Chains A and B, each alone.
Chain A
Amino acid sequence: MYNSPLQVGEPAVAGADFTRRRLLKSMMLVTAALALPALPPDAFAAPLSADQKTTLLRVARDIYPHDSLLDDAPYQAVIDAILVEAESSPTVADLLSKGVEDLEQRAQHIYKVNYTAISKPEEREGVLRSIELTDFFQKIKGGLLMGLYNNKALWPKFGYDGSSWETGGFIDKGFDKIDWF
């Protein structure tokens, strides 16, 4: 062999769960969380207060607002899943508590009230725009992208049919019908 540093018969794969981790990371990155440096994990992060949890729900509704189309339930489900994650991950718990704290400071700084008390939706969006590149924001946004738009139970509300092969596709169900022009 003139060019191979590799010996046959040796294991070539570095880590058993490497592929899975890459996959999960890539999935997240499709929704494109920017790789900002993570905050140092705080092992003693305090659990979120009821008010802070209410703020998280408001934030979720403001990221992808569907005022009349969706009630709180699907948003709450996404927030609850992240809160469950925070119970076993000091990093996530820290991300949430510091993220909410930072958001409230910004709300106080500009509007002299807590985030949820900012009455105009476009003003809340403005505050969120100032933190949109943070890990905190992207964590919630990423959860919502899947929890709202990749949620089969909600697809009928959006007029999206989802899987069709089980019922024979659309060939006999008007795939070619259009009448408005």
Chain B
Amino acid sequence: MSTKFDLNDDSVVVIVGSGAGGGTMANELAQKGVKCVVLEAGNKLTLDDIENDEWAMFSKISWLDKRFSAGGWHGAVNHPNLPAWIVKGLGGSTVHWAGVSIRFQEHEFKMRTTNGDVTGANVIDWPITLAELSPYYDKAELKMGTTGEVTGMPHLPWSADFKVLAEGARRIGYSKITAGPMSINSVERDDRPACQQIGFCMQGCKLGAKWSTLYTELPKAEATGNCEIRTNCMVLTIEHDKSGKVTGVVYADSAGTKQRQKARVVCVAGNSIESPRLLLNSASNMFPNGLANSSGQVGRNYMTHMTAGVYAVMPGEVHMNRGTAVAGIVRDEAHNDPKRGFVAGYTLEKLALGLGFLSAFLVPGPTGWGRKVSGALEKYKYMSGVWICGEDLPQEQNRIELHATEKDQYGLPAPVVYKTDHPNDTNMRNHAYQQMEKIYNSLGSTEIYNLPAYPASHNMGTNRMSEKARDGVLNKWGQSHDIKNLFVSDGSQFSSSGSPNPTLTIVALAIRQAEYLAKEMQQGNI
């Protein structure tokens, strides 16, 4: 079934992007009978294209258009053109994500109320609560096949590598140690097979056991006859009329030709760098600072999570590559307790790297070489490691800006991505390094490597929701405060980063937004 909509059909909802936000919007709207066109910048891969090869898949799926890293984080030097590690392709970053599906905690929607004003940060409460989002978390988990109580699907079995982390965590007194929730089938479900512990989850799941919009939401949306998906179509600008309502988008099609697709509504879901960039690149006489930007907050408050890695050589063999990439989670530090020297919390997520990535990231950048590095790599099969993922405070100066002179392949100003740690991030990271040292010491390991942040896969906050229009870009439905038929449907909506990996919350928000949007369209309000 391949429905086609006319370029001049101004009754459609145009969705920019096909990842967790865009892909979910497409299916939710299409199931409700709302006609939509998905414009995806990347191309379409199938499971046949997926390899168990880190660098081969890096070059196949990564977003490698011209971008610049800036600010105080090490990546401004070590990853100057790769601020973020996300996907350009159908399914977006749901091809790459590891499947971790943790809900926000109640206080994570209320960081301003919980901790008051934090110097140097731009903290607000979300305009929604956990109670309001909970039913949509349930729907998201059922949709994605998240292991746990809602689906009744058991968590995945513990790999040897996770047993190492779990045992160390237990020895230092931790108890919140689980192999889920993960949106990876532990049993056959939704016409997708059960996980075979292949590894390489983040190179695209070869089996389709891990949820991705690529082979769930998007084909289901197409099957309704209400959704057309156009790949290799990069949206360049969003257009509006004299009243300020958006009227459609101009995009470069697969042949590089500019096309104009008219629209009744535009939903932007290009991830937290491209979404604000598109709004900024759509500046007009009427909106000289970019669309939806009366607050000046478009592109601001860029959050990546406070992240780091810790890898250690164990006294016995581990073979961390054998099994799911993120085989389990420890959540004993996920609460908010300022007595630790920082507000908010973090999780410890077991993360396996292959030899290719470990060699590049153990000591990243131009100085990562020498006998210490090569010696560690010789002990690959004894290594175990985690990814630390904690709440990152919003700061106005962490932002996406348009480069003054550098252009991308479409002739549009390239994005510059500014990121500098808040002291809270630094304190939290150091706390996590100390805890990991205790965990690995307890297992008899003394050879421990602290890794700085990778290029960010969790990108959030650059079009944030806010109660008041002056504090953010979107209302509690992800609808622009300024333009009522313009929505943002991805992680750039987040008012705060929370500590959980963002995908589950993006999907829950999209289900909720689609419900609201369909109702508003039906009632003629949009």
Chain A contacts to B: CB under 8 angstroms: 1-4, 6-15, 18-19, 22-23, 25-27, 29-35, 63-66, 69, 121-122, 125, 132-133, 137-138, 141, 145-146, 148-150, 155, 158-165, 168-171, 173-181
Q: Judging by beta carbons under 8 Å apart, are A12 and B285 in contact?
A: no
Q: Which 8 residue pairs of A and B lie closest in terms of their CB atoms, listed nearest first?
A: A3-B284, A180-B316, A159-B381, A169-B196, A13-B256, A12-B252, A163-B52, A149-B359
- B contact residues around A180 at 8 Å (CB): 314-317
- A contact residues around B132 at 8 Å (CB): none
Q: Which residue of B lies closest to A163 (CB)?
A: B52
Known: A4-B284, A19-B409. 12 other contacts (CB 8 A): A3-B286, A12-B234, A25-B81, A27-B55, A32-B77, A121-B371, A133-B366, A158-B380, A164-B52, A164-B199, A165-B198, A170-B323
- Cα–Cα distance between A165 and B206 once the two chains are bound (Å): 7
Query: For the complex, is B207 an interface residue (Cβ under 8 Å from A)?
Result: yes
Query: For the complex, is B516 an interface residue (Cβ under 8 Å from A)?
Result: no
Chain A: minimal CB distance from B478 (Å):
22
Q: Which of A25, A162, A177 has the most CB of B within 10 A?
A: A162
Tell me which of B64, B356, B407 contacts A23 (CB under 8 A). B64
Q: Judging by beta carbons under 8 Å apart, are A7 and B258 in contact?
A: yes
Query: For the complex, is B364 an interface residue (Cβ under 8 Å from A)?
Result: yes
- Cα–Cα distance between A14 and B240 once the two chains are bound (Å): 26
A169-B198 CB under 8 A given contacts A9-B258, A125-B370, A158-B380:
yes
Q: Which of B428-481 contact A (CB under 8 A)?
A: 443-444, 455
A22-B197 CB under 8 A given contacts A3-B286, A178-B318:
no
Chain B: minimal CB distance from A138 (Å):
6
Q: Which of B77, B283, B374, B407 has the most CB of A within 10 A?
A: B374
Q: Which of A18, A141, A164, A179 has the most CB of B within 10 A?
A: A164
Q: Which residue of B lies closest to A5 (CB)?
A: B237
- A contact residues around B287 at 8 Å (CB): 3
Q: Judging by beta carbons under 8 Å apart, are B160 and A177 in contact?
A: yes
* A–B Cβ pairs within 8 angstroms, 15 of them: A6-B250, A22-B409, A30-B82, A30-B455, A34-B77, A64-B369, A64-B373, A150-B55, A150-B359, A158-B355, A162-B53, A165-B198, A171-B196, A179-B316, A181-B167
- B contact residues around A162 at 8 Å (CB): 52-53, 354
- Cα–Cα distance between A69 and B65 once the two chains are bound (Å): 38
Chain B contacts to A: CB under 8 angstroms: 51-55, 58-59, 62, 64-66, 77-82, 157-160, 163-164, 167, 195-200, 206-207, 234, 236-237, 239-242, 250, 252, 256-260, 282-287, 314-319, 321-323, 354-356, 358-360, 364-371, 373-375, 377-378, 380-381, 407, 409-411, 443-444, 455
A163-B51 CB under 8 A given contacts A7-B258, A8-B250, A66-B378:
yes
Q: Judging by beta carbons under 8 Å apart, are A14 and B207 in contact?
A: no
Q: Judging by beta carbons under 8 Å apart, are A178 and B160 in contact?
A: yes
A63-B381 CB under 8 A given contacts A12-B236, A14-B410:
no
Tell me which of A8, A32, A65, A122 contacts B259 (CB under 8 A). A8
Chain B: minimal CB distance from A126 (Å):
10
Q: Which of B258, B356, B369, B455 has the most CB of A within 10 A?
A: B369
Tell me which of B54, B199, B259, B374 contacts A170 (CB under 8 A). B199
Q: Judging by beta carbons under 8 Å apart, are B410 and A12 in contact?
A: yes
Tell me which of A64, A163, A176 contacts B53 (CB under 8 A). A163
Q: Judging by beta carbons under 8 Å apart, are B374 and A160 in contact?
A: no
Q: Judging by beta carbons under 8 Å apart, are A31 and B260 in contact?
A: no
Q: Judging by beta carbons under 8 Å apart, are B163 and A178 in contact?
A: yes
A63-B369 CB under 8 A given contacts A29-B80, A180-B317:
yes
Q: Which residue of B lies closest to A6 (CB)?
A: B250
Q: Judging by beta carbons under 8 Å apart, are A141 and B322 in contact?
A: no
Q: Judging by beta carbons under 8 Å apart, are B321 and A160 in contact?
A: yes
Chain B: minimal CB distance from A143 (Å):
12
Q: Judging by beta carbons under 8 Å apart, are B236 and A6 in contact?
A: yes
A8-B260 CB under 8 A given contacts A32-B365, A138-B366, A149-B355:
yes
Tell me which of A25, A29, A31, A176 contacts B157 (CB under 8 A). A176
- B contact residues around A149 at 8 Å (CB): 355-356, 358-360, 377
- Cα–Cα distance between A7 and B236 once the two chains are bound (Å): 11
Q: Judging by beta carbons under 8 Å apart, are B286 and A23 in contact?
A: no
Q: Judging by beta carbons under 8 Å apart, are A30 and B158 in contact?
A: no
Tell me which of A9, A22, A66, A133 contacts B64 (CB under 8 A). A22
- Cα–Cα distance between A86 and B199 once the two chains are bound (Å): 38
- A contact residues around B77 at 8 Å (CB): 32, 34
- Cα–Cα distance between A168 and B374 once the two chains are bound (Å): 31
A176-B237 CB under 8 A given contacts A161-B319, A165-B52, A170-B198:
no
